[in-house]
């Protein structure tokens, strides 16, 4: 409970600070136009089995986010988000807090944020396996540009993970960096977005960092090839994540150094179901040498999401996971999970 109160004190106090405009004639009406307070709440229930053949099932608040965005002036905006997830941020935490300076196609983002490494644009309830290798939140300084469909950014930060040699010297400096480039366009009914991301220490991703800890023998870089497209009611998503070779002391596969990859491929179609806007999706996912991260070797998913009322949707998902062979350190089992989710945005 103490953690709950502390996070909410930080969040509310930060919100008050962000909107404490100087006494220059700004009215409450002006502030209401500049401030956007919004929330995303998802309640999920699921039944299934684990890859160890155990029975699994729960009803939980899978995701709850309270966001606060304000336009301080024509150039600077401020953003703060509090987050709760039953599987990792229970109770609440300050998820993001950063300032953005935007001018004439250029932008600078400074603060706690998710760096642009990978994507999370899926219609399924469950996060894709690729996200386990890419989800990276850091207090970073990011420089970005957008020009006629082309976009790019470069960022630096002092990560949570340090190398053994640097730790031995007592170093604590900005040694991490990455960049992202892409192109997006719309042509009548066709729209697409393709890009390439790189980070010099993929070990900063949440799932990998929880396993390897810090310090590590050496930083390992990783890259992402990604693309999304839409034509009429049809959508397509493809993402490939590849890492360099880890030192076996940090992350191993079959006794040797692990070199991870993950692939996500999803197709979707929009339609009307009982008069409601709906989307049905089918996805295939694969990983390699990721058994130490407790990820399956492959996943097949079918998902349905329907907007039942304004700002309210219901999602259903069938997920079939296939584990690594026992010779690779897995269980050689498969597991089926059925999930349902109610999402409300306000």
Distances (CA, A) of 5 to 2, 10, 12, 38, 193: 5, 9, 10, 20, 41
**Pair (89, 221) in one structural domain:** no
Would you place residue 1 in the very low, low, confident or very high pLDDT band (cuts 50, 70, 90)?
Answer: very low
**Tens digits of per-residue pLDDT, 245-279?**
999 999 999 999 999 999 999 999 999 988 899 99
**What is the pLDDT at residue 9?**
52
Q: What is the pLDDT of residue 120?
A: 74
Report whether pLDDT(34) > 80: no
Is the same domain home to 212 and 304?
yes
Give per-residue pLDDT as tens, 193-245: 999 999 999 999 999 999 998 899 999 999 999 999 999 999 999 999 999 99
168 lies in some domain: yes
Average pLDDT in the chain: 91
Among 37-46, 118-127, 209-218, 319-328, name the one with the lowest average pLDDT. 118-127
Q: CATH code at 293? A: 2.40.160.10
Q: Which helix (H) or strand (E) holds 164?
A: helix 164-169
Q: What is the pLDDT of residue 71?
A: 93
Which band of pLDDT confidence, cut at 50, 70 and 90, is reported for residue 32?
low
C-alpha pair distances (Å), 174 with each of 108, 115, 156 = 17, 15, 7
Judgement on whether residues 89 and 140 belong to the same structural domain of the protein:
no
Residue 88, pLDDT above cutoff 80: no
pLDDT (mean) for 28-40: 78
**Same-domain check for residues 197 and 282:** yes
pLDDT recorded at residue 14: 53
Q: Note whether 337 and 207 are same-domain residues.
A: yes
Residue 26 banded pLDDT, cuts 50, 70, 90 = low
Q: Considering the domain boundaries, does residue 275 fall inside one? A: yes
Number of independent structural domains in the chain = 2
Instruction: Say if 134 falls within a structural domain.
Output: yes
* Same-domain check for residues 78 and 144: no
Output 80-87 pairs: Cβ under 8 A, ≥24 positions apart: 80/11, 80/14, 80/15, 80/18, 82/7, 82/8, 82/11, 86/58, 86/60, 86/61, 86/62, 87/62
Question: What pLDDT does residue 11 have?
Answer: 53
Residue 38: per-residue pLDDT: 95
Percent of the chain beyond pLDDT 90?
82
Cβ contact 321:334 at 8 Å: yes
State the pLDDT at residue 19.
47
In this structure, the answer to whether residues 143 and 180 fall within a common structural domain is yes
- Give ∠ CA 112-107-172 in degrees, rounded to 5: 40
Domain match, 146 and 91 both: no
Do 183 and 300 belong together in one domain? yes
The domain in which residue 95 lies consists of 1-40+66-100
Q: Which residues pair with 70 in a beta bridge?
A: 35, 78
Same domain? 79 vs 205: no
User: Residue 7 above 80 pLDDT?
Assistant: no
């Amino acid at each position: 409970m103490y953690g709950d109160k502390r996070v909410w004190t930080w969040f509310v106090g930060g919100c008050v600070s962000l909107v404490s405009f100087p006494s220059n004639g700004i009215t409450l009406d002006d502030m209401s136009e500049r401030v956007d307070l919004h929330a995303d709440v998802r309640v999920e229930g699921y039944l299934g089995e684990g890859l160890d053949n155990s029975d699994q099932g729960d009803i939980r608040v899978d995701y709850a986010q309270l966001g606060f965005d304000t336009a301080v002036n024509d150039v600077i905006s401020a953003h703060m988000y509090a987050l709760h997830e039953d599987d990792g941020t229970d109770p609440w935490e300050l998820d993001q807090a950063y300032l953005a300076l935007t001018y004439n196609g250029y932008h600078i983002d400074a603060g706690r944020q998710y760096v642009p490494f990978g994507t999370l644009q899926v219609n399924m309830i469950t996060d894709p396996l690729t996200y386990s290798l890419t989800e990276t939140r850091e207090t970073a300084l990011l420089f970005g540009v957008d020009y006629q469909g082309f976009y790019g950014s470069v960022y630096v930060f002092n990560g949570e993970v340090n190398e053994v040699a640097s730790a031995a010297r007592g170093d604590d400096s900005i040694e991490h960096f990455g960049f992202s480039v892409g192109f997006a366009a719309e042509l009548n009914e066709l729209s697409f977005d393709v890009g390439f991301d790189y980070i010099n220490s993929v070990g900063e991703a949440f799932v990998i960092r929880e396993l390897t800890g810090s310090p590590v023998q050496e930083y390992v870089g990783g890259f992402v090839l990604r693309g999304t497209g839409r034509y009429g009611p049809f959508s397509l998503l493809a993402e490939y994540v590849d890492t360099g070779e880890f030192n076996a002391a940090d992350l191993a596969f079959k006794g040797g150094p692990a070199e991870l990859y993950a692939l996500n491929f999803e197709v979707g179609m929009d339609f009307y179901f009982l008069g409601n806007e709906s989307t049905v999706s089918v996805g295939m996912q694969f990983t390699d040498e990721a058994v130490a991260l407790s990820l399956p070797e492959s996943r097949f998913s079918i998902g349905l999401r329907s907007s039942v009322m304004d700002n309210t949707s219901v999602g259903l998902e069938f997920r079939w996971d296939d584990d690594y062979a026992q010779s690779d350190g897995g269980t050689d089992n498969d597991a089926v999970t059925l999930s349902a989710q109610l999402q409300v945005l306000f």
